């Protein structure tokens, strides 16, 4: 066998496969979804969505008022918690901590779970108005004691739904597709 033949028949394919495997392996382990899905940090106040949204059936929009009025759904102000907790469960240590924060006026730092890059301008309004349930993207929050990231926040995921949204939409929804052009989300 000519040395060149050996190179072409053996070393090159093996080398190519090795490179490919390395790239794929590194890609797989550093893939943002692998890293970001299931992110479940501890919060400064052990607030349970399972209790509030599940058992007590407090509507999502009671606290996340921005979802229908603004691009940002928003995390409720401490004052919103105090609407109930002035009288409810005032003896619980977490509520005592909450009351102290409220009275001091200090900011309450929640750990961010869902995050989009700065160049993405997701707007909650059209999604909520189209009747898409919050759970479609955020998971069954009403069953979570500690909220974690349910869905991938990658562009492919957005586009998948924009191209074929019928599973996410209520029955008989007039919406057929979501926009797919760049400026719909990027500015």
Partner 1 sequence: MRAHLKRGMPRHWRSLEERTPTPDLRAEGWNEFAPGAAEPMAPPADVLSRRRFLGLVGATAALAATAACSKVDRGFIVPYTKRPVEVVPGVANYYASTFQEGRRAYSVLVKTREGRPIHITGNDEHPAFKGKTSPRAMADIMRLYDPDRLRGPRIDGRPALWSEADRLLVEALRSAKATGNGVLLLTGAVLSPTRRTLIADMKSALPGLEHAAWEPAAGDAELSAARAAFGGPALVKTKIGQAKVILSLGADFLGGDDPESVAAFAAWRRPRGPGEPMNRLWALEGAMTLTGAKADRRVPVKPSQAAPLAFALARALNERGVPLPAGVQASALPQGKSQGNPLSAEEWGALLNDLRGARGEALVVCGASMPPEAHVAAHLLNAMVGGTLAQARPAEPLASLRDLDGVVRRMASGGYEAVIFWGVNPVYAFPDADRLTAAMERAPLKVWMGVIEDETSARCRIVLPEHHWLEAWGDYGDGDGVVSLQQPTVGPLYDTRQGEEVVMGWLKGLGAVPSADYHAYIQTRWRKEVYPQGSPVSFERYFEAALHDGLVRTGSGIPAALAFNGTAVEVARGPSSAAFDQGFELLLAPGYAVYDGRYANIGWLQELPDPVTKNTWGNPLSLSVADAEALGLGDGDMVKIEAGKAAMEMPILVQPGQAEGVLVLALGYGRSAGSVAAGIGVNAFKFMDAGSSSPNVRTGVRIAKTGGRRDLPITQAHHRMEGRDIVRSYTLAGYAREAAEPRPAEDLVTLYDPQKFPLHKWGMVIDQSACVGCSGCVIACQSENNIAVVGAEQVVRGREMQWIRIDRYYEGDPRRPGTVHQPMLCQQCDDAPCENVCPVNATNHSPDGLNQMAYNRCVGTRYCGNNCPYKVRRFNFFEYTAFKKDPEALAYNPEVTVRPRGVMEKCTFCIQRIEDARMRARDENRPLRDGEIVTACQAACPADAIVFGDLKDPGSRVSLLSKSDRGYKVLAELGVRPAITYLANLTNPAAGEEQA
The residues that touch partner 1, with contacts defined as CB under 8 A, are 26, 29-30, 35-36, 38-39, 41, 65-66, 68-72, 74-80, 101-102, 105-113, 115, 117-119, 121, 123, 125-126, 129, 179, 181-184, 186-187
Q: Which one, 87 or 109, has the nearer CB to partner 1? A: 109
> Least CB distance from residue 157 to partner 1, whole Å?
16
Q: Which one, 53 or 81, has the nearer CB to partner 1? A: 81
Q: Which one, 55 or 68, has the nearer CB to partner 1? A: 68
d(CA 165, CA 176): 7
The burial of 100, by beta-carbon neighbours within 10 Å (0-12 exposed, 13-18 middle, 19 or more buried), is given as: exposed
Tokens 């053996």 — which residue? 10
- If DSSP codes are grouped into helix, strand and coil, which group holds residue 187? coil
Given phi > 0 = left and psi -120 to 50 = alpha, else beta, which region is 148? beta
Q: Which one, 9 or 177, has the nearer CB to partner 1? A: 177
- Residues contacting 7, CB < 8 A, separation 6+: none
Question: For residues 6-45, b (16+ Cβ closer than 10 Å) or e, as one string?
Answer: eeeeeeeeeeeeeeeeeeeeeeeeeeeeeebeebeeeeee
Q: Which one, 168 or 185, has the nearer CB to partner 1? A: 185
Q: Tokens representing 104?
A: 């001091």
Q: Which one, 57 or 187, has the nearer CB to partner 1? A: 187
């Amino acid at each position: 066998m000519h040395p060149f033949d050996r190179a072409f028949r053996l070393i090159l394919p093996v080398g190519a496969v090795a490179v490919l495997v390395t790239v794929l392996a590194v890609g797989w382990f550093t893939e943002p979804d692998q890293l970001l899905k299931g992110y479940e940090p501890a919060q400064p106040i052990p607030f349970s969505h399972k209790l509030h949204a599940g058992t007590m059936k407090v509507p999502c929009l009671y606290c996340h008022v921005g979802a229908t009025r603004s691009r940002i759904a928003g995390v409720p102000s401490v004052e919103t918690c105090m609407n109930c907790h002035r009288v409810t469960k005032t003896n619980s240590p977490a509520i005592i901590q909450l009351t102290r924060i409220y009275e001091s006026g200090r900011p309450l730092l929640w750990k961010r779970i869902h995050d989009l890059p700065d160049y993405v301008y997701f707007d909650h309004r059209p999604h909520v108005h189209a009747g898409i349930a919050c759970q479609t993207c955020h998971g069954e929050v009403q069953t979570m004691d500690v909220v974690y990231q349910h869905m991938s926040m990658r562009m492919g995921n957005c586009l998948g739904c924009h191209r074929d949204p019928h599973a996410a939409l209520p029955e008989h929804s007039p919406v057929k597709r979501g926009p797919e052009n760049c400026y719909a989300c990027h500015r």
